[in-house]
Amino acid sequence: MSFAILPIELVDQISLCLSMKDQVSLAATAKRYTDVVQRVLYRHITLDSQNNQDCLHSLANNPIIAKHVRSFTICVSQSNDLLPVLNEAISNMTELTSLDIWVEQFSNSWIMKTPDTSTYNRLNRFTCSFNLDHNLAHFLNKTPQLRQLHVHSLPTSSSDLVSTLRPDALPLLSQFYGSSQAAQFIVPGRPVEEIHLHSGDLTEEVARSLAYSTGPVRDLSAVTSSHSVSLIGTLTRCMERLVHLRIVTCNFSDAPDLAYVSNIADALRSLPDLQTCEIWGIHWVSSQKGFDDEDRVWHSETFNTDDVLNGNTVLDVSNLYFHHPH
């Protein structure tokens, strides 16, 4: 059989197994295969300031090619002259399912201000280094299928954000990664079940605000300046369906005493679905209360008091949440 008359579907599968160089050669064999190969070549793209600038220009100048892109990751410096080109490329990539954008300067969020005609009905994951401002809100209004959102913090003034982000935006959002300030704005009224706060302070007020998620909060990881029992008690009352809980305390001077441990254990008993728990660098484990009793009791794993006082239990928060792709 002549390769020139192979079915398009078979050519598509063959091109998936080829190197990029061979894919380009295949595209040159016959015009009818160009679109097939382009769908594979441009399906998943990772760029930085030093490579593949021609690819970014192609996405900006050719909407047909840009619509082949499903996942797109880019890291650029604040002085890079590719930013206007990046804005055009994002405007054209309307079939994206995953988008990661890392730009050094938060003020460059204007990159996300795309034409009203550009909608992103397939996008379900979005990660960026921008503050949650009116430019980002404008983009989020056009992502009805978004389920996972990674953002930075709120800008100094959030008045424009309040008027820009529609109340019905992000109707399917289930995972949020960002600051406590941004979480208070995004989570209430949306079905968020996983909340990961990489900055800001988890206070009782913040906990009560996050509890207004329309979905049961099952996974919470956060940073707090407090290790009060009252905060844990508020969490257990507001988020009674928690499955995974991780609280990192950044500010402490005294190691927990037995009364503290006992009070935390009592509070955790009210969370029937809880499976894993870490509070103030202490891992908590559960066991059945008795042989014929299905209730569980929580207790802290053995820890060294000197290590706690020396700060050895403080964990690297940057490794807990979302990572820079490079």
Residue range 117-153, pLDDT digits in tens: 999 999 999 999 998 999 999 999 999 999 999 998 8
* pLDDT number for residue 30: 53
The CA distance from 173 to 300, in Å, is 34
Q: Which segment of 110-114, 179-183, 240-244, 260-264 scores lowest on mean pLDDT? A: 260-264
Total H helices, total E strands in the chain: 13, 12
Reduced to 3 states (helix: H, G, I; strand: E, B; else coil), residue 8 is helix
Give percent of the chain above pLDDT 90: 47
* pLDDT number for residue 22: 55
Q: Comparing 38 with 246, which gets the higher pLDDT? A: 246
How confident is residue 4, by pLDDT bands cut at 50, 70 and 90? low
The CA distance from 158 to 161, in Å, is 5
Residue range 168-186, pLDDT digits in tens: 999 999 999 999 999 999 9
Q: To which H or E segment does residue 99 belong?
A: strand 98-103
pLDDT higher than threshold 80 for residue 47: yes
Residues ≥6 apart with Cβ < 8 Å to 56: 47, 74, 82, 85, 86, 89
Backbone angles phi, psi at 76, to 5 degrees: -135, 155
Ramachandran category for residue 52: left, alpha or beta (phi over 0 → left; psi -120 to 50 → alpha)? left
pLDDT higher than threshold 60 for residue 20: no
- Token code pair at residue 24: 């380009």
* pLDDT number for residue 213: 98
The CA distance from 36 to 285, in Å, is 53
Average pLDDT over residues 193-202: 94
Ramachandran category for residue 3: left, alpha or beta (phi over 0 → left; psi -120 to 50 → alpha)? alpha
How confident is residue 288, by pLDDT bands cut at 50, 70 and 90? low
Q: Comparing 279 with 14, which gets the higher pLDDT? A: 279
Q: Which residues pair with 48 in a beta bridge?
A: 51, 75
